[in-house]
Each structure stands twice: as C-alpha cells, then as structure tokens.
Amino acid sequence: MRIRLDPWPIDTQGGQLSLTPFESGELIDVETPRWAAIAPRDVPKRLETVYVVDGKPRMEARLLIEDDEGSSSFAGYGAFVVGAVKLCPHGSRPAELEDVRASRILAHGPGLSVQAARLSPRHPQTGALEYTPSGFQDDQPTAPAAHLQQLMLRAEQELSHGLASRVPFDEDDDRERLTSLTIQDGTLRGRNMGGAVVGCVKTMQTMYLPPDRISLLSELKPGERTPILHLKYGNNRVTRFTWYVRLCEAPAYLHPLAGVMRLEMYAPEESDFLPPIVRAVASLSGRLLCRLGSAAHKDSRAPQNLIPTAALEQAMSRSMGDARLVERRIRTHIMREMNVPAEDLRGAAWSLN
C-alpha cells in the first residue's frame, strides 16, 4: 500500500489530489517541442523591482436600503483592499508595503439615491469610517458581494499593470526591457492589459497537460521549469502563456506535485510568437520564486504561498480593521441615523459591546 499526503491544509477546498483533466481547450508548444526540464537562470540585473500584488474583499454588513422616494434594494457595507509588496529581487533594499489601504463601499442596487455614510468613532483617535456609494445593476441578494469582488479585481488589475514593465506583443518592438515585474496571486483575470504580470496558481485543480507529459512535473528539481506553452480555453476566448515551476523538494510523504506551481502570463491569440520578455520571466521565475517561497513551519500553504503574499494578506486584513468592531460601529451608526436619543444610544452601544 502506498499513501501520500495532500500538501494542502485539510480545510482547503479540493486540495491537490483531485485534478480535473483539461478537455475544452488547446495547448501549443510555443517555446520548444522538446518536453524536458529547463534549468533556472539568474535574475538579470536590470530587473530591479518585483511587485507582489494581491487583493481582498470583505462584506461587513448586508443591508436593505429604502430611499426617500420609496424604492428599495439589496445593498451592503463592504470593504476591499488591494496592495503590493515592492521588493528588489537582488535583495539590496528592504521590502516595502505599497498602497495597502482599505476602500469602503456602500454597494447598492440600481436607481437609488444614496448618500455617502460617515461612521464616527466613540474616540476621535480611532478615526472615522467613510463608505462611498457604488451602484450595481442586478437586484439579487448576492449582488452586493459580487459587486464588491468586481471592484476589488478591477483595482487589483490596475495596480498590477500600473507597476509592471510593458510586454510588447509585436515582433519588431523590443524597446521595452524587463525592469519591473508583477507577481499576482492566483490566475490572471480579464483581458490582456499589457503589463509584465505573472499569475501564480497555487492550487492546481485542472491538469492542462496530457497524461504523457505529467510525469515531468514530479521530476522537476527546485527552480526548474517546463517549457512555455500557449494555452487557449473557453472557446478560444482566453489565451495565456503558461509553464510549471518547482519551488522546493517535496518530502517523500507528500503528493508528488507538492511544491509545483503553475504560472501564467497574458498571451496574444496567435500562437506563433513568444515575446522575449515572457521567456525572460519564465527563465528567472524558478530562482525568484524559490527565494520568495515560504517554509512549512511558517505557513501551512508553503512554499506556494509566497512570503510577501502572506505578509500582504496580513497587512490587508489589518488595514480593513477588526470586523467585529466595524460591525459594532455600523449598528451604532444606524441607531444614530434613526434619531435614537443620546442616552439610549449610549446604552445600546454598550450593550452591543
């Protein structure tokens, strides 16, 4: 009998053991037809900055809003935060958090006149919460949360691409050099926006490779990668460059794919051109990610959950504030809006504490 552990924590949905085969798509060798491990290259000197970007939404209260004209809709107080860790891949500067700031949204349904809400704290030192109204079209109970997620993703994309070098998808255009690269947590979403942005897929749920190629993944040494593939799926609506990298030696007791990560970058629809920047990114990705990878005793999702990502997640949660405190403030705010007398309000606030 042969038993192997799933590398992911027990409460991770799906885990690593179940890999759905990839059926409705097309996979093209764009780098080389020779299916073998490619050794990592050093991070070139000119790449001075790497950004690790992530985002996080949080619904803070689900609401039912009724405006003065009598129309009503589902709504929600929510917050989202996107941010980046700015670091030097050569280790010559301290890593810094960049733009980690929560935005607060009062998401509401269509056709409502809604004012911004300012939630004042009991103590002036603890700062006010300001919710900016933002409307959505659907009028469904889940729409506020979905809207918040959309806002977050949009902000994350803008941040990712704003920070990275541009990728010229034209064979003749080689002016842009890879000086800054963005690593984004998870698969890339939406359309190509032109930046050198790499998506890191931590949990592999779909196996894009045909069965005869899978064995290479477990043979990869730390830092080594597979050749770059051109991937089309969703009826050719989505095109990506993708490759696999191993971040660490998997201990014998783990699933053989533990420590293997799939990376992707935006690709043009035509599969005959591999921009040099993409190849450069793929070549340095092994070394870079091995450096950024976490250790098992520090992070249960190690090594895929990168050190900067974990720090960023922590900073993002913190920047949104304690959920219970925010909820308490929302309740007090609503009481105040209802013109509850001050004494009763104090009583209510205390009891809510």
Partner 1 sequence: MNGPQLSAPLLGRILGTEDAMPTVFWFLVEQGQSVQLDDLVVARTTKPGGQEVSFYGLIDSVRKRHEGVTFESDVVDVASGVLPALVSYTARVLVTRVDPEQFVPPQPGDSVYHARGHDLKMALSADKMEAAAFPGGLLSDGQTLPINYNFVNGKSGGHINISGISGVATKTSYALFLLHSIFTSGVMGLDAADTRAVIFNVKGEDLLFLNRPNNRVVQKERDAQSAKGYPRDRYALMGLPQQAFQDVQFLTPPRGGVAGIMPDVERASGTVPYLFTVREFCARRMLPFAFSDRNASLNLGFVIGSIEDKLERLSRSGDTPYITVRDWKPDAEAQEALNEDIQFEDLDSVRIDTLSKLIAYVEFKLLEENDGSGDPKWTGRNPSTATLQAFVRRLRGVQKHLGPLIRGDISRQQAERYSPNLTNPAYRLSVVDIHRLSGPAQMFVVGVMLRDLFEYRERTAGKGVIFVVLDELNKYAPREGDSPIKDVLLDIAERGRSLGIILIGAQQTASEVERRIVSNAAIRVVGRLDMAEAERPEYRFLPQSFRARAGILQPGTMLVSQPDVPNPVLINYPFPAWATRFEEVQEEVSEANIQDLFGL
Q: Applying CB under 8 A, which residues contact partner 1?
A: 85-88, 91-97, 123, 125-126, 291-292, 297-298, 307-308, 311-312, 314-315, 318
User: Minimum distance between the CB of residue 177 and partner 1, rounded to whole angstroms?
Assistant: 22
Question: In the complex with partner 1, which residue's Cβ is closer, 309 or 332?
Answer: 309
CB of 237 to partner 1, least distance (A): 36
Give the nearest distance from C-beta 97 to partner 1 in angstroms: 5
Work out the number of other CB atoms within 10 angstroms of the CB of residue 261: 23
Strand 117-119 and strand 129-135: the pairing is: antiparallel
Closest separation in Å from C-beta 341 to partner 1: 18
Nearer to partner 1, 61 or 289 (CB): 289
Residue 125 is classified by DSSP as G
Q: Among residues 105 and 312, whose Cβ is nearest to partner 1?
A: 312
User: Which residue carries 């990668």 as its tokens?
Assistant: 225
Residue type at position 293: G
Task: Indicate the burial class of 109 (C-beta count within 10 angstroms; 0-12, 13-18, 19 or more).
Answer: buried
Those residues with Cβ within 8 angstroms of residue 275's Cβ, 6 or more apart along the chain or in another chain: 167, 168, 169
Q: What residues contact 73, with CB distance under 8 A and at least 6 apart?
A: 64, 65, 108, 109, 110, 111, 112, 139
Give the nearer residue to partner 1 in terms of CB position, either 87 or 105: 87
Of the candidates 183, 200, 223, the residue with the CA atom closest to the CA atom of residue 38: 223
> What does the buried/exposed string (b/e) look like for 193-221 if buried means 16 or more CB atoms within 10 Å of the residue's CB?
bebbbbbbbbbbeebbbeeebeebbeebe
- Of 83 and 195, nearer to partner 1 (C-beta) is 83
Rounded Cα distance, 58 and 137, in Å = 20
By beta-carbon proximity to partner 1, the closer residue of 125 and 235 is: 125
| Distance between CA atoms of residues 70 and 113, nearest Å | 10
Q: What is the smallest separation between the CB atom of 134 and partner 1, expressed in angstroms? A: 29
Which two three-digit tokens encode residue 251? 């201990």
Task: Kindly state the smallest distance separating residue 347's Cβ from partner 1, in Å.
Answer: 17
The minimum distance between CB 261 and partner 1, in angstroms, equals: 17
Nearer to partner 1, 150 or 180 (CB): 180
Q: Which is nearer to partner 1, 181 or 312 (CB)?
A: 312
Closest distance to partner 1 from the beta carbon of 140 (Å): 38
CB-based contacts of 129-133 (< 8 A; 24+ apart in sequence) = 129/104, 129/321, 129/326, 129/329, 130/104, 131/77, 131/104, 131/105, 131/106, 132/103, 132/104, 132/105, 132/106, 133/105, 133/106, 133/108
Q: How far is the CB of 192 from partner 1 (least distance, A)?
A: 29
CB of 259 or CB of 308, closer to partner 1 = 308
β-strand pairing of 129-135 with 96-108: parallel
